[in-house]
Amino acid sequence: MALSCGTTCIKYLLFAFNVLVFLFGAVISGFGIYLVVEAKNGLGSEAIGVPAFILTLGLLLFLIGFLGCCGACKEHTCMLKTFAAVVTVLLILQIIAGILAFVYRSKFVGLVADAIAMHINQLDSLPSVEQKEMRKALDKVQKELKCCGGYSSADWGEAVPSSCCAGETSPCRNPYQQGCAQATYDLIKDKALIVGIILIVMAILQLGAIISACCLATKIKEQ
């Protein structure tokens, strides 16, 4: 089918948007894989929820970008409309997730603190191998974030580990005052601008892809 100049421009614009979505998805997927590995090396499988979500989102963007490129090249109206619908749903879900994260951000510290405190309380009841791995994970978090326990060093009772002290002295007499839940929240908050920019760029790319796909499908149908 011979396309008009305007339709051809829209086609290549859609293709360009989807190449960017494709590449952005690849970057997010790589970052998600890194976070999953780091989470497993940190607090184990219980901590991979958010990293796994980021990885899944990246893979979805990667796949959507690829399908969008195919739809633009083949000039298939049904494929283009399906693509636009899928990206619209994904964009809406991202907006909802962002709103929920903002609304419930105040509960983050409590949830993480409770989870860490639970791990600490369950240490003695774990098999020796699992106990060793969990202690190693908790020590790593406390050393890297310069924190102690979930809420505070009180979560450890009298058995405060050396990883709670700057000099790693044993026994630990002057543990870090900040709990690891608050330290984690502060770390995320410090990166909020970067995360916000990434989400805005992602939304712009998706919105551009949706508009381009709808315009191209309409133009092709008219011709």
Count CB neighbours of 143 within 10 A: 17
The 10 Å CB-count burial string (b at 16+, else e) for 5-43 is eebeebbebbbebbbbbbebbeebbeebeebbeebeebb
Confidence of residue 147 (pLDDT cuts 50, 70, 90): very high
The pLDDT assigned to 50 comes to 67
Query: Mean pLDDT, the chain, as a whole number?
Result: 81
- Listed residue (147, 69, 160, 61) closest to 120, CA to CA: 160
Residue 168 pLDDT greater than 70, yes or no: no
In sequence order, the 6+-apart residues with CB closer than 8 A to the CB of 192 are: none
Question: What are the tens digits of pLDDT across the range 27-72?
Answer: 888 888 887 776 666 555 555 666 777 788 888 888 888 888 887 7
Share of the chain above pLDDT 90, in %: 5
CA distance 169 to 175: 10
Residue 29 CA to residue 24 CA, distance in Å, equals 8
Q: Report pLDDT digits (tens) over 149-161.
A: 999 999 998 888 9
- pLDDT-based confidence at 1, cuts 50/70/90? very low
Q: How far apart are CA 64 and CA 55, in angstroms?
A: 14
Q: Would you list the domain boundaries of the chain?
A: 5-107+195-222, 108-183
pLDDT (average), residues 127-132: 83
Cα(95)–Cα(204) distance, integer angstroms:
12
For residue 99, the one-letter residue type is: I
pTM over 0.75: no
**Quick one: average pLDDT of 89-98?**
84
Distant-in-sequence contacts of 200-204, Cβ < 8 A, 24+ apart: 201/24, 202/24, 202/28, 202/61, 202/94, 203/91, 203/94, 203/95
Closest C-alpha to 161, from 196, 194, 197, 136: 136
Q: Is the pLDDT of residue 3 over 70?
A: no
Residue 47: what pLDDT?
56
User: Residue 213: pLDDT band by 50, 70, 90 thresholds?
Assistant: confident
Task: Give the residue-averaged pLDDT of 85-100.
Answer: 85
> What pLDDT sits at residue 49?
64
The CATH class, in words, for 108-183 is: mainly alpha
